[in-house]
Amino acid sequence: MQILLVEDDLSLANGLELALTQEGMTVNHVTKGNEAIHVVESFPPDIVILDLGLPDMDGLEVIVALRKEKNTVPILVLTARGAIEDKVTGLDCGADDYLAKPFDMTELLARIRVLERRISTSTTSNTINIARVSLETKERWVSYDDQEVSLSKTEFMLLKTLMQNAGRVQTRDSLESQLYSWGEEVNSNALEVHIHHLRKKLSSDFIKTIRGVGYTVNKP
């Protein structure tokens, strides 16, 4: 899952980026509201985590601008403004969730999982079951024929993306954007290598190749 983090406190942003990456998410970071609007419109993330106190514009203006353009990307506000009135204003502007600083990382992760389930087409819980493959998004395990399978972090992220979008073809570009952050060097055949490893560990026909387009798994 790709997260766009909009936060001008670099110390906090670095800590969040590290924590979210360790949870198997791909995180891209900007510090200004105008940058956030441009990124969401040009390279849509799965979820936006948005601070309100930005240097160039208020975060609420970012939400209003995106919703005015009918952009439905889930937005989780993460801000020091913790009064009830502030929360109501943020939600009324179009935010999907609102968490006040200081916050507990476990709560933030739980709220991200709720938004993730909301945008997933294949599950309403933490566990995705397709054919003989089960994937648990919170505890981060995978089983095949009820036997746990050991996956690398990247393999897990790739499989989760495909299973969450079961029945929809994922292009090479969209998959790479889920797996790698901006500026990260990627070998030209890295995606194919990960797909090959997943097929060896699961079933060879679980992940389908759509020639010239990308990859998919069948709907459960």
- The string of DSSP letters for 6-45 reads E-S-HHHHHHHHHHHHHTT-EEEEE-SHHHHHHHHHHS--
Domain finish residue from 102, 119, 136: 119
- pLDDT given at position 124: 56
Provide the pairing of β-strand 127-130 with 133-136: antiparallel
Q: In terms of domains, do 187 and 135 share one?
A: yes
Number of structural domains the chain divides into: 2
3-state helix, strand, coil in the chain (%, to 5): 40, 20, 35
CATH number at residue 24: 3.40.50.2300
- Confirm if 38 and 65 have CB atoms less than 8 A apart: no
- pLDDT given at position 123: 53
Q: In terms of domains, do 112 and 134 share one?
A: no
Q: In terms of domains, do 23 and 115 share one?
A: yes
Domain finish residue from 89, 119, 149: 119
| Domain carrying residue 95 | 2-119
User: 3-state DSSP call for residue 111?
Assistant: helix
pLDDT digits (tens, 9 = 90+) for 113-129: 999 888 765 455 788 99
pLDDT digits (tens, 9 = 90+) for 149-178: 999 989 998 999 899 888 889 998 888 888
Lowest mean pLDDT among 8-12, 85-89, 184-188: 184-188
Q: In terms of domains, do 162 and 111 share one?
A: no
Q: In terms of domains, do 109 and 131 share one?
A: no
Domain finish residue from 74, 99, 119: 119
